[in-house]
Amino acid sequence: MNHITSKLLIFAPEEGSVLAELSKIFKDYEEGTASKDSLISRTYTQIRRILNIATDYGFDKNLWQNYLTFLLITNENPFSITCEKTGAKEGSVNDFAVSDCAAFKELFDYDFSQLENDLGIDCFNKITNYKAIVKKELMYNKSVSEKVLSLSESLSKSSDGKEFFLHLTDFYKAYGVGMFGLNKAFRIKSNSDGVEFLPINNMEQVTLNDLVGYEYQKELLVKNTLAFAEGKTANNVLLYGDSGTGKSTSIKAIVNEFYPMGLRMIEIYKHQFKDLSNVIAAIKKRNYRFIIYMDDLSFEENETEYKFLKAVIEGGVETRPDNILIYATSNRRHLIKETWNDRNDMEHSGGIHRSDTVEEKLSLVNRFGVKINYLKPSRAEYHDIVISLARRNGIRLPDEELKLAADRWEMSHGGISGRTAQQLINDILSGDK
């Protein structure tokens, strides 16, 4: 195996990776420089790592080939990043890539039987003929699993390095590379190197059609997002209005809808605004369109993070990259709580013009070129939402009975809203009514 991995140039295994460690094991085995017990122990350690990866991503059948496929589609190197969402282009680097693909084809077909016979183990035979335990989807990322398993099967059937190369670069063109290629949405975590992007595996599979009503609002959101996904000029978006009206649902829906076009979402909380510069630096040169999403955005009178946000959105030293927009939801039209003192033109002590404070606070909302208002539905609209949701879920109660149930429900569950309507439907489906 070591003689194969030593030929890798573009996709050379990282130090400490399973592939790198297995290569060392085989080198020691072939040269006779390690004891049998040591080789067995080290081999089992790497098998456990493969099993852990397989469990995390729901791999099945040939875990060795699944692992190698996962390595290839998560290896962010200059070649793979150049290919993401565009595919392979003409260039001498393709010769090196095809050579690497030929080496990986050898690894796909590697015969472990001699090592297993000499060491008295059969772990490689087991992981190449594996039957996984069925797991709930929320325990792993089903979307990632399906992509890996599909590509793994195609790569395994390749006749040579050239065909292997075509399958791999077609995947890069369709989905991209690395975690950004495999996942729709992310959260972030600060670390010593800047920020780490954590995939959101269980994002709701909602569509815009699932949000009853709000056709004008959805039309504005889709128009702006489609322009952005197509590489045209688009604006930052603020969705504001009453709670429970579908603002967050709309954001999730457009991410689901435009993911195939290269749209990705990064959710950031207010306490993480200090990391925005690092986030932008990490994604500005990728071939995706990123929405930085801020849910329930608002600031109290004494909070000053909004000043930093203003600079990042627009007006800082560095121009915001074309592949990044800010989408935010808020129950406040102006995002920042105002007081009567703000509206007094002059503060008695010191002669400070308070109107300047108001202008400074209002200037944040003006950074959003598209502002979409989600109003609480009227009672008639609320009834329509309840009836529509009921029919979608197979509930056949008469309309008038549903309206009466809706009116009783909203009085003790937060008033009229789409969220309240959905809660009523959930209650009916649970069999409590």
Q: What is the pLDDT of residues 114-146, one digit of tens each?
A: 999 999 999 999 999 988 776 554 444 677 888
Q: Which of 167-171, 190-194, 420-424 has the lowest mean pLDDT?
A: 190-194
DSSP H or E run through 292: strand 289-294
Task: Give the list of residues 6+ apart from residue 398 with CB closer than 8 angstroms, or none.
Answer: none
Residue length, the chain?
433
Confidence class for position 289, pLDDT limits 50, 70, 90: very high
pTM for the whole structure: 0.78
Mean pLDDT of the chain: 85
Looking at residues 319-348, what average pLDDT do you find?
Answer: 68
Residue 349 — pLDDT band, cuts 50, 70, 90? Answer: very low
Q: Residue type at 413?
A: H
Residue-level pLDDT at 131: 84
Best-predicted range by mean pLDDT among 37-51, 172-186, 230-244?
A: 37-51
| Residues 200-214 pLDDT 10s | 877 788 888 888 888
Task: Tell me the percentage of the chain whose pLDDT exceeds 90.
Answer: 47
Residue 164 has pLDDT above 80, yes or no: yes
Judged on CB neighbours under 10 Å (0-12, 13-18, 19+), 13 is middle
Instruction: Decide which of 142 and 233 is more confident.
Output: 233
Q: Is the pLDDT of residue 234 over 70?
A: yes
- Mean pLDDT over 312-322 rounds to 66
Res 345: pLDDT: 52
Using 50, 70 and 90 to split pLDDT, how confident is the model at 246? Answer: confident
1 or 101, which is more confident: 101
Q: If you average pLDDT over residues 177-200, what whole number do you get? A: 88
Q: Which of 3-7, 312-316, 392-396 has the lowest mean pLDDT?
A: 312-316
Higher pLDDT, 110 or 139: 110
Q: What percent of the chain has pLDDT over 70?
A: 86
Distance CA 218, CA 344 (A): 38
Residue 258 has pLDDT above 90, yes or no: yes
pLDDT of res. 116:
94
HSE-up of residue 264 (Cα within 13 Å, Cβ side): 29
Beta bridge partners of 264: 290
In this structure, the number of other CB atoms found within 10 A of the CB of residue 146 comes to 11
Calpha distance 427→148 (Å, rounded): 38
* 184 phi/psi in degrees, rounded to 5: -90, -40
Which residue from 200, 189, 175, 198 is spatially nearest to 70, judged by alpha carbons? 175
**Is the model's pLDDT at 385 over the cut of 80?**
yes
Q: Average pLDDT for residues 209-222, to the nearest whole number? A: 90
